[in-house]
Amino acid sequence: MNAIISASELAAALQTDRPPVLLDVRWQLSTAAANGEPPFDGRAAYAAGHLPGAVFVDLDRELASAPGSRGRHPLPDLAVFGAAMRRAGVSAGTPVVVYDGGIGWAAARAWWLLRWTGHPDVRVLDGGLSAWQGPLETAVPEPAEGDFVPEPGDTGVLDADGAADLARTGVLLDARAGERYRGEVEPIDPVGGHIPGALSAPTSDNVGADGRFRPADELRARFGELGVTPGAPVGVYCGSGVSAAHEVLALAVAGIPAALYVGSWSEWSSDSDRPVAVGPDPR
C-alpha cells in the first residue's frame, strides 16, 4: 500500500462505504517564543477550517511526551497516544488519513507512530491541507470511539547508541537543513553539527515546488546517491524526531524501510560526552 494519498484519491475514498478516519495534525517548528512571539496554534488553525469530519490531534501533547533528557519530542506515553487515537475514531480495521498544513512533518510523525504501533492502513495526504480542493468545515465532529490499541514494534526505532552504530555500519541520514548539519547555525539545540558519520539529507529535497512528494523513482535515485543500497540498514534523525519522520515517509514511498531516531539531535546534543562533527564531510 502506498504511504501517501492524493487529494483526489482522498475525495473519492470519503465517498465509499468505508471512508478513512481523518486526523488534522497542524503544527509548526517555531523559535517564536525565543523572540517573544506567540507560538503557532494548530488548534486555532483547525477551528478556522478543516477537512469535513477531521479530528484535531495535538503533536506536542498526544504524539510526544514532555521535553527532557530524551529530546524535545520523545515517544509519547502509549496510553495517552492510544486514548487520543480512539477518541478520534481510529480502529484497527479502519483506514486512516493524516494531514497537516502542507509541510508534511507533523502528519508524517502521526503516520510513523500509527505504523510503528501496529496500524495496518494509514496514509498521509500528499501536499497537506493546501492540496485539498474540497470544502472545509468548522464544526467539531464527535466520532464513535475507536478500538485501536497501540502495540510498539520490535524494530523501526533507534536510540542514541543505535544511531551511532548505524552511522558506522549502515546509512544514517540527517534530515535537518544543511547549515544545521554543518554546524554553521543552531537556533534551537545546545550545539550545532551532526552525529559523526551521518549524511546530510534535508527533507526539503523530498518534495517538489508544489510541496508534494517527488515520484518514487526520483526518491530512490536521491537516496541511492546518498549510499542507500538494497538491503542496507537505514536510519534517520533530525532535530527532535518530527521532520525525520517525513524522511522515513519519503523512504517508504521509494520502497525503502528505515528506522527513526526519535530523540534525534535534541537528545544527542544534550550530552556533552557524545561526539559532534561539523562541516560538510560526514567523516
- Tell me which residues are annotated as active site: 238
Cβ-in-10-Å burial (0-12, 13-18, 19+) of 247 comes to buried
**Cα end-to-end span (Å), the chain:** 37
Amino acid in position 186: E
Residue 67 DSSP label: S
CA-wise closest residue to 64 among 131, 23, 121, 109? 109
151 within 8 A of 79, measured Cβ to Cβ: no
What phi and psi, each to the nearest 5 degrees, are found at residue 68? 180, -150
Left (φ > 0), alpha (ψ -120 to 50) or beta: where does 241 sit?
left
CA-wise closest residue to 105 among 33, 10, 181, 40? 40
